[in-house]
């Protein structure tokens, strides 16, 4: 077995992912749990981390590079923000060392957009961007990063020039659990982007995003008046929110892109690929898990392994 060189950690609000990496940035072991920032803030960040390090037999001298909500104000140590517009590589220079720990533990900063008319922040996505595009990419890119709070990011010559957040995932969760529409989607089965109700809703919402809250209500009225079933209602709601998000992301970017770089994985990957295709938008998908590992690898090389090599 190759010798371990460092630990990479993606620490979100509700999730924790850890990879034991060798000097060539290959995964030797992996740990995943629901011990995100919310849980770790109660049980102790150091305790959570050390438990997972012990589980992969990580040596006491191995350094750790972390991205995500562990660097938030409510996290382990506040890592602050790099101000946009900013080179992607600037997040490497802003890494903060966790004090009082025997091993070298660094947390990467997020990126802040401080424009008074469009304030915004990202934390964790900057590392995915670094991994997906690299620190020296050229040309313009519009990057879509789906999630609880989706990001649409303008990148030009490896500089984040602007971005916009959309609460698509969280709004879907709140509506289906805490609004009148919870009755419309009760008992809904799993669906994918091929569902006709999803496809139609994406196109309708992208064409008329100003009608968003009206279109959302049709998940209920369509059920009452047109026999829409629970799965169809859930698919319509999902398509409506994603379609409006795509329209908003393109509007915020100020241009219809030739190509959307989609950084996603799992079920969201399929839904967004289907939505972009329904709208006639060309896209290229980059696996989100791979992107964050590659971003953490770039940080590890810069901070810990100056002589290491990152595979292409």
* pLDDT tens digit sequence for 210-230: 999 999 999 999 999 999 999
In whole angstroms, how far apart are CA 197 and each of 42, 111, 162, 221, 277?
42, 36, 33, 14, 15
Residues 6+ away with beta carbon under 8 Å from 116:
none
Alpha-carbon torsion, ordered 123, 126, 131, 137, to 10 deg = 180
Mean of pLDDT values over 51-71: 97
**257: alpha, beta or left, given left = phi > 0 and alpha = psi -120 to 50?**
beta
For 113-145, the pLDDT digits (tens) are 999 999 999 999 999 999 999 888 899 999 999
Q: Note whether 127 and 109 are within 8 A (CB).
A: no
Domain boundaries, the chain: 4-165+288-303, 167-281
**Residue 135's pLDDT is what?**
85
CA pair distance 127, 28, nearest whole angstrom: 20
Alpha carbon 203 to its chain centroid, in Å, reads: 24
- Beta strands 27-33; 96-97: pairing state: unpaired
Predicted TM-score (pTM) of the model is 0.93
CA neighbor of 164 nearest in space, from 154, 152, 155, 156? 152
Between 3.30.420.300, 3.10.20.740, 3.30.390.30, 3.50.50.60, what CATH number should domain 4-165+288-303 receive? 3.30.420.300
Q: What is the DSSP letter of 157?
A: T
- Any idea what DSSP says for residue 3? P
Where is 127: in which H helix or E strand? helix 125-133
Q: In this model, does residue 309 exceed pLDDT 70?
A: no
- State which fold the 167-281 domain adopts: Nucleotidyltransferase; domain 5 (3.30.420)
Q: Quote the tokens at residue 62.
A: 């191995």
At 203, is the secondary structure helix, strand, or coil?
Answer: helix
Mean pLDDT of 247-260: 95
Model confidence band, residue 311 (pLDDT cutoffs 50, 70, 90): very low
Asked, colleague to colleague, whether 4-165+288-303 and 167-281 share their fold, the answer is: yes
Looking at the predicted structure, is the pLDDT value of residue 260 above 70? Answer: yes
The secondary structure of residue 182, as a DSSP letter, is G
pLDDT band, very low/low/confident/very high, at 307 (cuts 50, 70, 90): low
Q: So what's the pLDDT on residue 201?
A: 98
* Span 65-79, average pLDDT: 97
Q: What is the mean pLDDT of the chain?
A: 95
Does residue 256 carry a pLDDT above 60? yes
């Amino acid at each position: 077995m190759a010798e371990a060189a460092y630990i990479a950690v993606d620490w979100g609000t509700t999730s924790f992912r850890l990879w034991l990496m060798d000097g060539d940035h290959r995964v030797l072991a992996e740990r995943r749990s629901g011990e995100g920032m919310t849980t770790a803030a109660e049980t102790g960040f150091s305790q959570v981390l050390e438990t997972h390090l012990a589980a992969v037999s990580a040596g006491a001298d191995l350094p750790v590079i972390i991205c995500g909500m562990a660097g938030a104000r409510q996290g382990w140590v506040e890592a602050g923000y790099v101000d946009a517009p900013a080179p992607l590589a600037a997040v490497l220079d802003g890494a903060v060392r966790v004090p009082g720990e025997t091993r070298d533990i660094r947390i990467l900063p997020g990126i802040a957009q401080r424009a008074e008319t469009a304030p915004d922040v990202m934390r964790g996505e900057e590392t995915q961007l670094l991994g997906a595009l690299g620190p020296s990419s050229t040309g313009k890119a519009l990057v879509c990063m789906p999630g609880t709070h989706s990001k649409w990011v303008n990148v030009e010559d490896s500089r984040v020039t602007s971005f916009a957040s959309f609460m698509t995932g969280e709004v879907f969760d709140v509506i289906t659990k805490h609004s009148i529409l919870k009755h419309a989607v009760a008992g809904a089965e799993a669906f994918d982007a091929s569902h006709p109700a999803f496809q139609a809703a994406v196109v309708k919402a992208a064409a008329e995003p100003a009608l968003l809250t009206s279109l959302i209500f049709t998940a209920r009225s369509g059920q009452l008046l047109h026999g829409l079933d629970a799965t169809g209602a859930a698919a319509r709601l999902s398509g409506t929110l994603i379609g409006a998000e795509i329209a908003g992301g393109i509007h915020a970017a100020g241009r219809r892109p030739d190509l959307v770089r989609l950084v996603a994985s799992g079920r969201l990957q399929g839904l967004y690929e289907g939505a972009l295709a329904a709208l006639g938008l060309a896209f290229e998908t980059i696996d989100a898990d791979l992107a964050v590992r590659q971003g953490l690898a770039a940080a590890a090389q810069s901070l810990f392994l100056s002589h290491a090599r990152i595979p292409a």
